[in-house]
Amino acid sequence: MVIVVGIIEVEAADRRRYLESKTGQVAATLAEAGCLDYSYAADAGDPGRVRLLERWDTMADLQAHVDALRSMPAPGTPPVPSRMAEATVYEAVPAAAPWG
């Protein structure tokens, strides 16, 4: 499994609108081959921060997603200005949870 964890910064007053603007992208990405989870969520501790979580079956699935994004025409001005502050990709192996 491949996990992507990202932090996106927006103006606090724009965060709800930013999240709402992502609903179509989330639905489309969830329909892609190998996508197990794809979500944006408000950070409970910072009103100007959004968390991105992606889970992919394989690195090839994630690469196909990225390649498809790169092949699309450049987007116009986004409805809500944002900046990717951080994104990390992990190759993960499920482990037994310590709580049971």
d(CA 85, CA 9): 6
Looking at the domain that runs over 2-91, which CATH code has it been given? Answer: 3.30.70.100
pLDDT tens, position by position, 52-75: 999 999 999 999 999 999 998 987
Share of the chain above pLDDT 70, in %: 100
The confidence band for 33, taking pLDDT boundaries of 50, 70 and 90, is very high
DSSP one-letter string for 40-98: EEE-TT-TTEEEEEEEES-HHHHHHHHHHHHHSPPP-S-SS--EEEEEEEEE------T
Answer yes or no: is pLDDT of 77 > 90.
Answer: no
Mean pLDDT of the region 39-59: 98
Instruction: Please report which confidence band the pLDDT of residue 5 belongs to, taking 50, 70 and 90 as the band edges.
Output: very high
